[in-house]
């Protein structure tokens, strides 16, 4: 996590799971970074539409970093960012592995309370996505290449993520 460690060095951060399903991932990252943990309790009434219900944990005065595996419409993360800010978070950032970003997601994110959203290039971003000022795309090609090499050499892949 050098990007997170370097970018937020010296700041009080809180790792946030945008839903109950991502708590294990968020908890592992929070432990690794020595950060607090918060969880967004939400209800999804229908596909693609989420309503943030509650924030479990203390976020006031902290930089919140949401971590998720995939973002499609961006609704959950944008709604969560608004609620986190209303609860006193100083900034809200998101780190997402797969940025699908369909429909009006890029416009939604551009207008949101997210200071930044970092996505990987596991899905090639469109020019419209690249043009959104608060979306950053980082490459994972070096990690995938190293994983292939380690597999060929019968070495540990999990050691890449310690």
pLDDT at 1: 47
Which tops the pLDDT comparison, 4 or 50?
4
Mean pLDDT of 62-77: 96
Helix (H, G, I), strand (E, B) or coil at 122: coil
pLDDT at 2: 54
Residue 95, strand partner residues: 67, 118
Each residue of 22-65: pLDDT tens digit?
A: 999 999 999 999 999 999 998 766 665 657 679 999 999 999 99
pTM over 0.75: yes
Q: Enumerate residues 6+ apart whose C-beta is below 8 A from 13.
A: 4, 33, 35, 36, 62, 63, 64, 65
Active site residue 62: no
Helix (H, G, I), strand (E, B) or coil at 53: strand
Q: Which of 7, 31, 42, 87 is catalytic?
A: 42
Q: Residue 12's domain spans which residues?
A: 2-161
User: Tell me, what DSSP letter sits at residue 4?
Assistant: H
For the chain, the domain total comes to 1
CATH of the domain at 121: 3.40.50.2020
């Amino acid at each position: 996590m050098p990007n997170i460690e370097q970018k937020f060095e010296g700041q009080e951060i809180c790792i946030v799971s945008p839903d109950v399903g991502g708590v294990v991932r968020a908890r592992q990252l929070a432990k690794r970074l020595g950060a607090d943990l918060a969880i967004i309790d939400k209800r999804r009434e229908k596909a693609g539409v989420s309503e943030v219900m509650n924030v479990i944990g203390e976020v006031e005065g902290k930089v919140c970093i949401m971590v998720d595996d995939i973002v499609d419409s961006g609704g959950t993360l944008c709604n969560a960012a608004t609620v986190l800010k209303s609860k006193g978070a100083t900034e809200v950032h998101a780190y997402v592995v797969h940025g699908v970003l369909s429909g009006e997601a890029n416009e939604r994110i551009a207008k949101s309370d997210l200071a930044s959203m970092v996505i990987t290039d596991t899905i090639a971003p469109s020019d419209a996505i690249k043009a959104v000022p608060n979306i950053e795309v980082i490459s994972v090609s070096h990690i995938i290449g190293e994983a292939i090499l380690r597999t060929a050499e019968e070495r540990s892949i999990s050691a890449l993520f310690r």
